Amino acid sequence: MGVFELTVPPGSQVPPPHSHTRNEECVYVLDGILRYSVNGVVRDLQPGEWMHTPPGSVHHFSNPHIGTARALIILTPDVGAQYFRDVGAIINAGGPPDREKLIGVMSRYGLVPAPPR
């Protein structure tokens, strides 16, 4: 099991919709409002609210709201800290994230990007 805190600035739209081949995920909001979608069910989660993502479910989060959102993410089994370092390197490279590089990292860790809508 892996647990980490996620900070999502206003206007964030990362990561792209995806599923996990080997992991289930829960998101529990600590501060702000986090928009979370699982298999097309979209909720604006407030502090104390959570949502579960079974393996194979397409999910996505964003923050279209004014304030920063913070959440705890629980993954079982854990994907490992290196995944987040690899994603962070792409996101923090400057400018919009390179979608192809992001998808490449996701694929190496068993995350499957959802087909574009």
CATH assignment of the domain containing 42: 2.60.120.10
Under the banding of pLDDT at 50, 70 and 90, the label for residue 53 is: very high
Instruction: Annotate 60-74 with three-state secondary structure.
Output: EEEECCCCCEEEEEE
Name the residue type at position 108.
R
Q: Which residues span the domain enclosing 59?
A: 2-112
Cα 53 to the center of its chain, rounded Å? 11
Q: Supply the pTM of this predicted model.
A: 0.83
Q: Is residue 117 part of a domain?
A: no
In angstroms, the Cα distances linking 53 to 11, 61, 93 are 23, 12, 29
Please tell me the distance from the alpha carbon of residue 62 to that of residue 88, in angstroms, as a whole number. 16
Question: Is 45 part of a structural domain of the chain?
Answer: yes
Per-residue pLDDT tens over the stretch 8-52: 999 988 677 899 888 999 999 999 999 999 999 999 999 999 999
Q: 11 lies in a domain?
A: yes
- Under a CB-based contact definition with an 8 Å cutoff, are residues 9 and 91 in contact? no
- pLDDT per residue over 60-89, tens digit each? 999 999 999 999 999 999 888 888 889 889
